[in-house]
Chains A and B, each alone.
Chain A
């Protein structure tokens, strides 16, 4: 009995000690925590949705390159590190958690009044995707054309006067 109790106590001590002395990095997320793929379909009225292969992209980029300071890893961007070098893993790591789908709504624009606010220029969801994806794709020779990632829907073709809505050949705009 005595021996068993001692073993239990030691195990408990090791467990608690482990928790106490563990470096912050242990608590950062890693690729295994992430979903295999993410459906991106906020532009679905003009373009078909994109099935974003998260598992594949993990091999190309570190977490921070897309998730900035929210996944708890070492913050690389010096502008983020000024405040977030020790903020650890955030409650919200999804894109939509921070980047609004309607970036330019009146309420949001009002919030920019706060004088202490640093994030006065946070892109909306669409901007965040494209700015991040395209700039990286350009250097890694990933797809950069609009329809390389998402094909146009019928409504999209109509708006762009393309596909079956293409202007007739020989037609020219009126004017002088």
Chain B
């Protein structure tokens, strides 16, 4: 009798193959997980104890990035009282960075927090973008290419900090508006971004990310009691180029302290790893199943035909 692959064995083989691919894919996933960012990547350390809420960074950003005229002057501090949809001010298509005021209980003075793109080491916007409009440059910036953007806005959903915004005023020429670390005009020439240069208090310290972590630790260590012992962004979402130190717990000054300590990508990596497998192996596998399932019927049909022929 001619030895054929039984249906059972074929299924077993198919499953083993699938499992093998899944294992290999997982290995790759682990390799990607250990990416610690570009060694020479730059960043900014934001010291909340130094910020006085002067909004010079906002003005400098507006000028540098040629953003439209603001609704109120940059030395108008009534913006700190603005609440939209129950929230403090956020970045939008007219402002890549905003400063908000936080009145912390039991503190005799308010604290100010500047927000902008944190330029993640492994950006969720980048991994979510299916046309590769985002790039993490070796200098540390997460930049964006409007030429390939299709305006799907997945990046806006993917960002754990709600930073990318959509230029709704030009929906047919899709454009995401977000801080680009002044990459084109400054960072790629080794210069600090405009906001950092404008800050009178040096609340924003520009430097290599690795050096900034050391600076942050030195400040925390050498002025006991001044800071909480944490650098926000050192570990959050796998590390960000912009990091913060604060005198009060971070959740009291608007930070999301529940973001994972690993890249957002890791939450979806296992699923994403299956996608190519599904696309490449499954068609062959299921065509095989189909052929096997219909083989007996075909043989019967053939036999029937043969019998009819003989008659």
B198 CB, min distance to chain A CBs, angstroms = 9
Once the chains are docked, how many angstroms separate the CA of A121 from the CA of B211? 9
The answer on a CB contact under 8 Å between A131 and B73 is: no
Partner of B218, one of A105, A121, A123: A121
Interface size on B, residues (CB 8 A): 42
- Known contacts A79-B222, A173-B70; is-contact A160 B59 (Cβ 8 Å): yes
Residues of A within 8 A of B55 (CB): 160
B23 CB, min distance to chain A CBs, angstroms = 42
Stretch from A13-21, A66-74, A161-169 contacting the other chain: A161-169
The answer on a CB contact under 8 Å between B168 and A175 is: yes
The answer on a CB contact under 8 Å between A167 and B218 is: no
Partner of A146, one of B54, B190, B208: B54
Once the chains are docked, how many angstroms separate the CA of A159 from the CA of B71? 14
Once the chains are docked, how many angstroms separate the CA of A36 from the CA of B282? 84
CB contact list, A28-59 vs B, under 8 A: 43
The answer on a CB contact under 8 Å between A167 and B93 is: no
The answer on a CB contact under 8 Å between A121 and B63 is: no
Chain A 119-150 near chain B by CB (<8 Å), digits 1 or 0? 01101101111110010000000001010000
Determine the main DSSP class of A at the interface with B.
loop
Q: Is A176 part of the contact surface with B, judged by Cβ < 8 Å?
A: yes
Q: Is A103 part of the contact surface with B, judged by Cβ < 8 Å?
A: yes
Residues of A within 8 A of B169 (CB): 174-175
Interface size on A, residues (CB 8 A): 34
Give 14 CB contacts A-B under 8 Å. Answer: A106-B190, A109-B211, A112-B211, A129-B200, A130-B200, A131-B50, A131-B201, A146-B75, A146-B200, A159-B74, A161-B69, A167-B71, A171-B69, A174-B94
Once the chains are docked, how many angstroms separate the CA of A175 from the CA of B214? 40
- Known contacts A162-B74, A174-B68, A175-B94; is-contact A121 B215 (Cβ 8 Å): yes
